[in-house]
Structure 1
Amino acid sequence: MGFGTGHNSAAKALKYEFEKMPAVTAEVVDLLELIPSTFHPLLQSGYQGMLNKFPTVYHYLYDWTHHNKMFRYVSSEVIEKMGWSIRKKMAQLLEDVRPTRIVTTHPFALILCPAHWEKIPTVGVITDYELHPIWLARLPHALFVPKYLLNQSQLERIQWTTGLTLHQTGIPVNAAFYEELSKERARQVLGLPENHPVVLIMGGGTGLGPLEQLVEEIRYMRSLQFVVLTGNNQNLYHRLRKKGYESHIRIESFRRDMPLWMASADLLVTKPGGLTISEAISKRLPMFLFEAFPGQEKANQQYLLHHRVAMVTRPQTIRFQLEKFFLSDQQRKRMAERFTPLMSTHASQQIVQETLRMEAPVMQTL
């Protein structure tokens, strides 16, 4: 379900890997696209609006479904009842495609799946660094989670109480992020200076956060090369372009070659979206994190801080933090080394192999 870009990016990475296998076909379906076209943009904009204007409301909803079993049950029932239009189209889609496995990167898909298809092996793939209990409202046959998210005791308790099979594979990202590419070569291709540290600043696919304030704070730090990626936020892109910054601040809109940009960089300044930080982990790219939304992004931020591969920043402190960060090559090298156990080089392949290992029942047409 395409609330944000992370769930769909992970699904596409898995589709790519599934279709490498002989005689396997995969199809990505965004369940939001099954909602009537007049309502879909309202739902999407409503979700984004709540995050931007009323983050406290979202925080309470997220927190209540996380900690209150009764509220979680009621929420899953509400989702199921409200999803009647999706379920009807989903049932028809499943009849047309007749899948042998169902893989989802969003827990709502399991809740909305028609009961007739319960015998089909279902796989859940978490795309943030937290196991929200809504994933357990309707259990998949197997659940794939980030590395070092759960300790052995937590794994055993969940598996014992639910019967769920858990795999700590990591989050699947586009395979291009794990391709070896030197920093020098990436900068040559992108036309970036080779003798200055490169800092990427981005607010996810939708260009959220205090990007304008951040740019104003760093505009006179000419010893660094900044690349500001505004994503799909065209208003922000044009506002920043009109300000006529000097050449050490480069403004870019949505780019499809993010593996190349991350390979060129020494530091990423970003919101802690699940897929964005997973892509940065794959490139061993240290992060400064700003304005984490309550819920998943707070959990993602805490995960990175715990493993000491990121720091929290804000416009008022970013100049001082940048100066300190680039003061010691040894400190940056140590931070980069901490990424090694977190990397999920083969996450997509492992998920595909485990999914295809499951026995699919023979579905007979009456």
Structure 2
Amino acid sequence: MKKKILILSASTGGGHNRAARAIEEELSKLDIDCEIIDSLKFVSKVVDKVISTGYEKSALYTPKAYGQMYKFSDTDIVRKGMDKNLILKYMTSRLEKLLKEKRPDGVIGTHPFPVMALSKLKEKNEMHIPLYSVITDYTIHSAHVAKEVDGYIVGDEYVKSLLEYSDVPNSKIYPYGIPIERRFLDPVDSLAFKKDLGLNDKFTVLLMGGSFGAGNITDVLKDLISIKENIQIIIVCGRNTSLLLKVTKFLKTHNVHEKEIIVMGFTEKMNALMSISDCIITKPGGLTTTECILKEVPMIVPFYIPGQEKENLAFLLNNGLAVKPEKNLNLEVIIKTFMADPSKLERIKASMRFCKKEDSARKIALLLEEKTKNI
């Protein structure tokens, strides 16, 4: 009989679902039945709206408040109070019914909330199958550490050390990397794709703010169009339609110095866009960061959402994977230096080659196959 794995995700940003799809793709190749469940939507539309929509709105409009909430939620007093959290209790109850209905041989979560809930079931001896957690950032939060998790997949050895520091046994931690869909690494004919977009073969800057278009995109764009060097710019606004309109209006009312500039909303062509870019200006989301590392696209990070992205940025800077603009090292200086001295870009790419974790999703699928074979 075929094995069955449940993949529990959530729509708090795009990264958790993308990681889930990457794992699903590799499990299917092993002839294992798998199903992705958006855990928050399954539990309750209200819960999903409060958590998923709340995350997106606070990250976009009140990032400082979000950062303070993130920091507070990572304290012992909050962690100890989770046993009395009504939302977690309700989630645990709903997921218990899901397990009885689906009868999987194992579960893997790409978001900490469903993993926390299922860990509670295992503590009460009401769940008897393997439970694995994928951490989709280059840091940890106390919500990631749950007593009955059988294994953690993490993006780097630094994250492994953070878990060990939180008393997670070494044997439970797998530094396989954050999973990315295989198609993202498909080869791209860069010259042909540039031609299709109406671009030239010259220094190309990709500017984006994640799946929902966060960050001071127009401020960065203002800096970019003031650069006298001959560059071309691609702007991806994600699902943020108001940002798309704002950028479009901005370009109509500002002198772009005859630069080629392309503006688009959400796109499935990020693989190709990264392939033709000499550098990317973006916020440091976990999946975006991983994609940049795998594609060896040097990162410039002028903005971030306080919380996990601030810690992702620390990881990038400490490993020579990104540059952060400062008052005396502004964006114009960075771009000019990259163009005048390509070895600066090559140094970042070399660090990316050293840090990259390839075939993460495949390794996760093989691990799940191994851990469920006797069930």
Identity among equivalent positions (%) equals 25
1:117, distance to aligned residue in structure 2 (A): 5.0
Name the SS of the counterpart of 2:133 in structure 1. strand
Alpha-carbon distance, 1:39 to partner: 5.5
Q: 1:253, CA displacement in angstroms?
A: 0.7
Query: In 2, Cα distance between the equivalents of 1:315 and 1:275?
Result: 28
The aligned counterpart of 1:192 is 199
Residue aligning to 1:102 = 107
Q: Are the equivalent residues in 2 in contact too, given 1:146–1:168 (CA < 8 A)?
A: yes
Measured after TM superposition, the shift of residue 321 of structure 1 is 2.0
Rounded to whole Å, the distance in 1 between the matches of 2:56 and 2:160 is: 33
The alpha carbon displacement at 1:32 in A equals: 1.8
Distance verdict in 2 for CA 1:184–1:123, change over 3 Å: same
How much has 1:46 moved relative to structure 2? 2.2
- Tell me what 2:313 maps to: 301
CA drift of 1:155 comes to 6.8
Tell me how far apart the structure 2 counterparts of residues 338 and 43 of structure 1 sit (CA, whole Å). Answer: 36
> Does residue 235 in structure 1 map to residue 247 in structure 2?
no
- Partners of 1:268 and 1:29 lie apart in 2 by 32
**Which stretches in structure 1 are left out of the alignment for 5+ residues?**
none
Shift of 1:84: 4.2
Displacement of 1:142:
0.8
**Count of aligned residue pairs for this structure pair:** 355
Partner in structure 2 of residue 172 of structure 1: 179
- Which residue of 1 is the match for residue 22 of structure 2? 13
Q: Report the equivalent of 2:145.
A: 136
Q: Residues 12 and 53 of structure 2 are in contact (CA less than 8 Å); yes or no, is this contact kept in structure 1?
A: no
Structure 2 distance, partners of 1:48, 1:334, is 34
Q: TM-score, normalised by structure 2?
A: 0.86
TM-score by length of 1: 0.88
CA deviations on 1:135-186 (whole Å, 9 max, x unpaired) are 223331011111232477x676667x64751111111112123233353344
2:213 aligned partner: 207
Determine the C-alpha separation between the residues in 2 that align with 1:43 and 1:335: 36
Give the one of 57, 67, 76 matched to 1:49.
Answer: 57
SS of residue matched to 1:146: coil
Cα pair 2:27 2:33 within 8 Å, conserved:
yes
Deviates more, 1:333-342 or 1:280-289: 333-342
2:30 aligned counterpart, secondary structure: coil
Relative to 1, partners in 2 of residues 1:259 and 1:117: Cα closer, same or farther, differing over 3 Å? farther
Contact 1:120–1:361 at 8 Å: present in 2 too?
no
- Residues in 2 aligned to 1:359 and 1:10: alpha-carbon distance in whole angstroms: 20
Helix, strand or coil at the partner of 1:94? helix
In structure 2, give the amino acid aligned to 1:213. D
Q: Give, in whole Å, the separation in 2 of the partners of 1:233 and 1:40.
A: 19
The offset of 1:260, in angstroms, is 0.7
Counterpart amino acid of 2:222?
Answer: E
- Deviation per CA, 1:303-360: give whole Å up to 9, x if none: 1101112011379922222112221012212221111121121111111111111146
- Alignment check: 8 A CA contact 1:64 1:72 kept: no
Distance in 1, Cα, partners of 2:158 & 2:191: 34
Q: Residue 336 and residue 234 in structure 1: after superposition, are their counterparts in 2 closer, same or farther (change >3 A)?
A: same
| More displaced stretch, 284-293 vs 41-50 | 41-50
Gaps of 5+ in 2: 1-9
Q: Show the 5 A alignment for 1:80-99.
A: 81-99=86-104
Residue 349 of structure 2 aligns with an amino acid whose one-letter code is A
Please give the secondary structure, in 1, of the residue aligned with 2:340: coil
Corresponding letter in the other structure for 2:99: L
Q: Partner of 1:149 in structure 2?
A: 158
User: Which of residues 13, 16, 26 is equivalent to 2:34?
Assistant: 26
CA distance in 2, matches of 1:353, 1:137: 23
Q: Is the 8 A contact 1:7 1:106 kept in 2?
A: yes
Task: Confirm whether residue 63 of structure 1 aligns to residue 75 of structure 2.
Answer: no
> Once the 2 structures are TM-superposed, how far is the Cα of residue 19 of structure 1 from its aligned partner?
0.6
Question: Can you list the C-alpha shifts for 1:41-95, whole angstroms capped at 9, x where unaligned?
Answer: 34433223333444344333333443x3333221x3254x213443343233222
Map Cα deviations across residues 207-235 of structure 1 (whole Å, 9 max, x no partner).
11111111122224360010010000111
- Please say if 1:217 is aligned against 2:223: yes
How much is the aligned-residue C-alpha RMSD, in angstroms?
Answer: 2.5
Partner of 2:350: 337
**Distance in 1 (alpha carbons) for counterparts of 2:259 and 2:106:** 51
